[in-house]
Amino acid sequence: MRLARVEAEGITPSEPSRRSNRSLARTMRSVVALAAGAVVFAALAGCGDQYRPVVTAINPVGPAGQPTKYAIAISSTGPNTPGLATMVDFSGDTVLITANVGVNPYYLALDTSGVNAYTLNSDKTLTSFPITTSLLSSQVLESTLLDNNGILPPSINPEGLNTYISQPGRNSVAQYTSTPLALKQELPIDSAYTPTYVVGVASAPRVYVVSKANSGSNGTVSTIETVSNTIDVNPIAVGIDPVYGVMTADTRRAFIMNQGSNDISVINAQTNQLDTTPTLTDPNGTAPVWADFAPTLNELVVANAGDGVHQGSISIFSIPLCSAIAQPTNPNCDPNNPVDAVGFGTLIANVPVGINPVMVAVLQDGTRAYVLNKGNVSQPCAAPTASAPLGNCTVSVVNLTSNTVTATIPLPLSTDPLSAAANGHPSWIAATTGTPTGKIYVVSPESNFMTVIRTDTDALLTTVPLQGAGVSVRVTQP
């Protein structure tokens, strides 16, 4: 543009002079190019001479990026104050957001997609909120629960469009729908039984209400048809003191932990009856209380609490079903109603672990199971020693190939309650895979910090502040 203006004003240099100037400019550009080493200047014709640098970058090759997922922990700040929901970044172990929930929360659940979270609170309310790093207070919704005759509902189970809450004080299960959650109806349970848990997964055609017998005899499982949301009047008899249950992702089998009769009832959710293999038993497994799946291995891993003061164990069962792959060797396989494949229900191993195991979390690649050993609650937490190799308050690492304990991880201990390493008898564990490492999250009602364990080294990684006593932790992706 300057050149055009100069020419218009009649003071344009002569042609020889312009050639000389261009030659000098080319010489200067050559010097600059040699000095820069990596930058080439290209002359572009136009309204004046403009030069644009072109740089060839050398991109470093680093480790693969971690997937976007989160650990959601809830904590209690006191019996009469709002609790907190803390969202922790999986890749960086940093607190992304903290939000108030209901007063003194005691139970946390995520929906199957990991999009929404729900808490049951001691002020007889239900809190729901989306799992997002931009969570606003206005997005934390609260619903009032029914009067449960002074008994707090023990659990909440979001199963797709419906959310079910066991109501032991009302001998019923409440069905909630919509946003915010609103009571749709109550489904009655026989007054001779007390409902404790609802077993199911999203999109399951039916879910199961686990109920204990008030007389101490065998419990029952009542069927809820999720399409019509009606409850079966003829429940299925299971073992004594059923406390927990899990359903396979394909919705075809449900497993009920019977703490009192030391066995696991198996329900064929396709036929809505006890399975061909009606119970799983381990002669060395006492008081099954929790279970998780190793789907790549077709195995069920069960935590046996024992008597709560001595060493417990886990039971590993084979649970393969017929499939299209299995049909050539098993002509009885029906893809629409698969029967138990050969070996279904076989006890693969009983693995002794720590004192009072209360939960187990399995890495979904099938490599290891992490067992949460609450320890003898009448004794202080202590790291393993030569004279007491089990310690008290630990995580046992079980290799699912060799079915042996490969590590016993003591949870952080400290005599200073304000220390970031302080912890206590743990209450909840969650596991997630990842590259180069997955992570294990542990919380305790005696600590204001969440412990994080690496799965590549099976060693403590860090602790995360919760600003309240740890209640529960879940992960958005297993």
Instruction: Kindly state whether residue 44 falls inside one of the protein's structural domains.
Output: yes
Instruction: Kindly state whether residue 471 falls inside one of the protein's structural domains.
Output: no
Instruction: Kindly state whether residue 130 falls inside one of the protein's structural domains.
Output: no
Instruction: Kindly state whether residue 36 falls inside one of the protein's structural domains.
Output: yes
3-class DSSP state of 419? coil
Tens digit of each residue's pLDDT (9 = 90 or more) over 188-228: 999 999 999 999 998 899 999 999 999 999 999 999 999 99
Residue type (1 letter), 145: L
Residue with tokens 């072109």: 54
Name, in order, each residue with C-beta under 8 angstroms of 26's C-beta and a sequence gap of 6 or more: none
The mean pLDDT of 108-130, rounded to a whole number, is 95
**Residue 263: Cβ within 10 Å count:** 22
Half-sphere exposure of 23 (CA within 13 A, CB side): 6
Instruction: Kindly state whether residue 187 falls inside one of the protein's structural domains.
Output: no
Strands of 416-468, DSSP E: 428-432, 439-443, 449-454, 459-465
Round to whole Å and give the CA distance between 221 and 239: 10
Whether 271 has a pLDDT exceeding 60, the answer reads yes
Number of domains in the chain: 1
pLDDT at 413: 59
Tens digit of each residue's pLDDT (9 = 90 or more) over 357-384: 999 999 999 999 999 999 999 999 998 9
120 pLDDT tier (thresholds 50, 70, 90)? very high
pLDDT at 291: 98
Q: Are 130 and 140 in contact (CB under 8 A)?
A: no
Q: Are 357 and 372 in contact (CB under 8 A)?
A: yes
Q: Which two tokens stand for residue 110?
A: 């995520």
Determine the structural domain holding residue 13 and report its residue range: 2-55
pLDDT at 67: 55
Least confident of 37-41, 46-50, 159-163, 415-419: 37-41
The mean pLDDT of 323-340, rounded to a whole number, is 67
326 pLDDT tier (thresholds 50, 70, 90)? low
CA 70 to chain centre: 9
Give the residue among 366, 422, 420, 431 at the shortest CA–CA distance from 395.
431
Strands 95-103 and 105-110: unpaired
Residue with tokens 């203006």: 5
Residue scoring higher pLDDT (472 or 138): 472
Instruction: Kindly state whether residue 140 falls inside one of the protein's structural domains.
Output: no
Instruction: Kindly state whether residue 327 falls inside one of the protein's structural domains.
Output: no
Round to whole Å and give the CA distance between 85 and 79: 16
Average pLDDT, the chain: 86
334 pLDDT tier (thresholds 50, 70, 90)? confident
Instruction: Kindly state whether residue 94 falls inside one of the protein's structural domains.
Output: no
Name, in order, each residue with C-beta under 8 angstroms of 415's C-beta and a sequence gap of 6 or more: none
Task: Tell me phi and psi for residue 412, to 5 degrees.
Answer: -55, 135
Round to whole Å and give the CA distance between 111 and 181: 13
330 pLDDT tier (thresholds 50, 70, 90)? low
